[in-house]
Structure 1
């Protein structure tokens, strides 16, 4: 079994992809726009101008595949208790990634030393995605 995160960006997916490429070195392994779909959406299913938005994309971030879209989110009062975790090889890289993700976002816990990591912090980025950033402990 493989469980993967799927993130919806409410029309800002291209911006999010560019941001994660710059900050995390994300690689786009697949991208399809609504206009490229072999089956057009039913009339009225998409807001005007959405034909150039991202219907589906796959991003490789390190060893992880993350799926992203502008497409209609499941919406409603859903489960909100989640965060993506970025485990970085050292403190300097953890500090760089944390600062970049925090730019335009909101820090919940500043990057600091914990009993499990030399640097750990929590934030929500500019797209509303919750992150936990940590430096891997030296063994």
Structure 2
């Protein structure tokens, strides 16, 4: 069994987020379907036809799924964080700063007792991230 993350973008920003993660993290969209792609006769909220109904994207070897959650505009994302493990402190800092652009830093990127580099933030789309470069064992 595999557990995968599913992100619901409540403000219709899924496609914008995919482009941002592609630029910042090298994410690759592997599948995308829109609400307008549903079979004829299936009800779709007016104005939602071009919003993302479902997509898969990868960051490194990890697959994540996402969509625009058209039913709950303005709802935030809470109760989870995606954790990245870059190979070096420098790479971690670059990723942290890029994800933090337009977002909110909850814990600045810095050395800790368990990591050579660690920081927490919420990106401009409301997704919580932890960047962790573990100390060598």
Regarding TM over 0.5, the answer is yes
1:123-134 equivalences in 2 (<5 Å): 123-134=121-132
RMSD across aligned positions (CA): 2.2
Q: Structure 1 residue runs of 4+, over 4 Å off?
A: none
Corresponding residue SS for 2:39: coil
Tell me which residue corresponds to 1:14: 15
Listed as ranges, the gaps of 5+ residues in structure 2 are none
- 1:78-109 Cα offsets, whole Å, 9 max, x none, are 99321110111101110010001100000010
Tell me which residue corresponds to 1:27: 28
| Match status 1:37 vs 2:35 | no
Change (3 A) 1:63 1:32: same
Corresponding residue SS for 2:85: strand
Q: TM-score, normalised by structure 1?
A: 0.87
Pick the aligned partner of 1:83 from 81, 84, 87: 81
2-structure distance, mates of 1:40, 1:13:
25
Change (3 A) 1:138 1:13: same
1-structure distance, mates of 2:102, 2:134:
25
Shift of 1:74: 7.1
Corresponding residue SS for 1:51: coil
Contact 2:32–2:54 at 8 Å: present in 1 too?
yes
Tell me which residue corresponds to 1:120: 118
Change (3 A) 1:39 1:66: farther
| Match status 1:60 vs 2:61 | no
Tell me which residue corresponds to 2:3: 3
